[in-house]
Amino acid sequence: MGLLDRIASPQDVRRLTTHQVGALADEIRAFLVDQVSRTGGHLGPNLGVVELSIALHRVFDSPRDTIVFDTGHQAYVHKLLTGRQDFSALRRRGGMSGYPSRSESEHDVVENSHASTALSWADGIAKARQLRGETDRHTVAVIGDGALTGGMAWEALNNIAAGVDRRLVVVVNDNGRSYAPTIGGLAQHLDALRTTQGYESVLSWGKSTLRRSGPPGRLAYEALHGLKKGIKDVVAPQGMFEDLGLKYVGPVDGHDEQAVEHALRRARAFGGPVIVHVITEKGRGYTPAEEDVADRFHAVGKIHPETGLPLAPSRFGWTSVFADEIVRVGRRRPDVVAITAAMLQPVGLAPFAAEFPERVFDVGIAEQHAATSAAGMAFAGLHPVVAVYATFLNRAFDQVLMDVALHRAGVTFVLDRAGITGDDGASHNGMWDLAMLSIVPGLRLAAPRDEPTLRAALRQAVDVDDAPTVVRYPKGSMGDPVPALEDVDGVDVLARHAGDPTRVLVVGIGSMVGTALAVGELLAAHGATVTVVDPRWALPVPASLVKLAGEHDHVVTLEDGLVDGGVGALLGQRAREANVTAPVQSFGVPAAFLQHASRDELVDELRLGPHDVAADVLTALHARG
């Protein structure tokens, strides 16, 4: 039995000897490579926080002391140390979540995997502890240098600094990366902090020089003081934190468990807010990850554990098509620029950056800033393309509404992983955008169904210079093209089935077009006359789609966004306003948080598969008589 097998709780971690701690770290790394290579998941971030996680649980008493992980993708080691060692179904239905989960353990606090939130959580928890008189309980926030690029983190730091007697420790896990190398002034500041080793060595040289020159007088002492201050200002500018009123400890070698533990004990004993700056290496101990410059091991699918090579081809066909088309657009349009929120590679902007480096702006994990900065670029004569995951646009809704749309700014938002994504759980499903963006005046949204419509939608979107445009597409592989039989004023007719007098219009939105076609065939098999269409530009609801609804007896809509307030609901509203009598039966995602499972499993659970939809439609038709 190895050491890891004996760890059932943090108490077991605290009982280990120094020698056993090192052996445990080695076991954990081997375990992570072996298990995550089988299931897929966030490998690199967790390999980088092994010693840090062990030190946290040796110094603090979770769950009495609260440990909050920002984003949470680096919590696998935390899970192992709190008794969760069955990784066989990681990120699968019924198995362990890829993020902290309250339903799994009392040691988990924040389930939301959106970055830059942990400091606000910690601030709130620490305030509550203080008001309740629980002065012997500590709150710890673990946040990466990448997440510190988010404005919300700095709002929290400003408030944390005011709580001089609150027992709150902020651990900055500094690996110079989020999904990609951390950028901006903060990154440069942390780079400078990493050079503090030079401060101590130069100061020692100054002291030894004074000793050799004989008994120092006042002038020599003043010179030494000036040397100390000058060096500190140059190579250890931790004053940025200390000027806020935050005690600063570090930088500390994050892979020296004893050093990290010592720093955390100092912070714990301080009695007020403390920053502990820990330097770690993402992918530590796994050669393929250490040697990878593109950060392919941040999140992996199933891989060969020895080589790190994927066992199956990349599944992100939609992103690849966008990556190719945005480069083509960039060659044609020198005014088109790209903005990303610390996700250059995942959203497909790396090829654009390689060809047009001066036209790409990585703003860090700051979606709000991305949107408003884009509005400014549009005002100054450019056409910005902001590429983010659909779920992360939620964070910038106010900016989309009040900075972009209100000012009729020509900005294109490209939403990757829109709709049901599955494996990463509730916070990563991109199911909110259709309903959320439907209330933005002037905004136009395209939901392409295949490669040709994606390429066309992007070209059309960047040609709009007086309103925001959105192009959304799903996670996963791209199917074969679905040609249109005809175009009815911008709405593609994809299939017609002749049958009895009952005429049914089936409307598929984006990735649900394939389901719509299958539903059409099933309804036709039961005798209905069916027309299957795709509006392509789903928002605002096209007038031609309302007209088509008026030419049918029953309308069915299918979307992978919220059914309440979604495209189907809007079509029903527009149809009623146009005195269309055909009922609109809408299918989509309920207003609920979907737990982690595969997309197919969630589709089945939500009864969004072709057979379930067709059955519900037939029931509605029979009820009408």
Q: List, by residue number, the catalytic residues.
A: 282, 367, 395
390 annotated binding-site participant = no
> For residue 598, how many C-alpha atoms fall within 13 Å in the half-sphere facing its CB?
7
Which residues are CB-contacts of 265 (< 8 A; sequence separation ≥ 6)?
59
199 annotated binding-site participant = no
Q: Decide: 132 and 108 in contact? Cβ < 8 Å.
A: no
Which residues are CB-contacts of 449 (< 8 A; sequence separation ≥ 6)?
482, 508, 510, 511, 513, 514, 534, 536
CA distance 315 to 478: 8
113 annotated binding-site participant = yes
Strand, helix or coil for residue 360: strand
CA distance 547 to 425: 38
CA distance 556 to 13: 57
383 annotated binding-site participant = no
Nearest to 532 by CA among 556, 566, 559: 556
73 annotated binding-site participant = yes
- Provide the sign of the torsion angle of the four alpha carbons 498, 499, 504, 508, taken in this order: negative
CA distance 130 to 110: 20
Tokens 């780079």 belong to which residue? 191
Tokens 């919590």 belong to which residue? 75
Token representation of residue 268: 């714990």
Q: How many CB atoms lie within 10 A of CB 309?
A: 10
Nearest to 322 by CA among 385, 257, 406: 385
103 annotated binding-site participant = no
Q: How far is CA 2 from CA 27, 264, 607, in A?
A: 8, 27, 45
367 annotated binding-site participant = yes
Strand, helix or coil for residue 339: strand
Q: DSSP character for 594?
A: P
SS (H, E, C) 88-154: CCCCCCCCCCCCCCCCCCCCCCCCCCCCCCHHHHHHHHHHHHHHCCCCCCCEEEEEECCHHHCHHHH
520 annotated binding-site participant = no
CA distance 531 to 543: 17
Q: Decide: 446 and 471 in contact? Cβ < 8 Å.
A: yes
Nearest to 16 by CA among 84, 81, 103: 81
424 annotated binding-site participant = no
591 annotated binding-site participant = no
CA distance 541 to 574: 8
**Residues annotated as binding site for thiamine diphosphate?**
73, 113-115, 146-147, 175, 286, 367
**Residues annotated as binding site?**
73, 113-115, 145-147, 175, 286, 367
**Residues annotated as binding site for Mg(2+)?**
145, 175
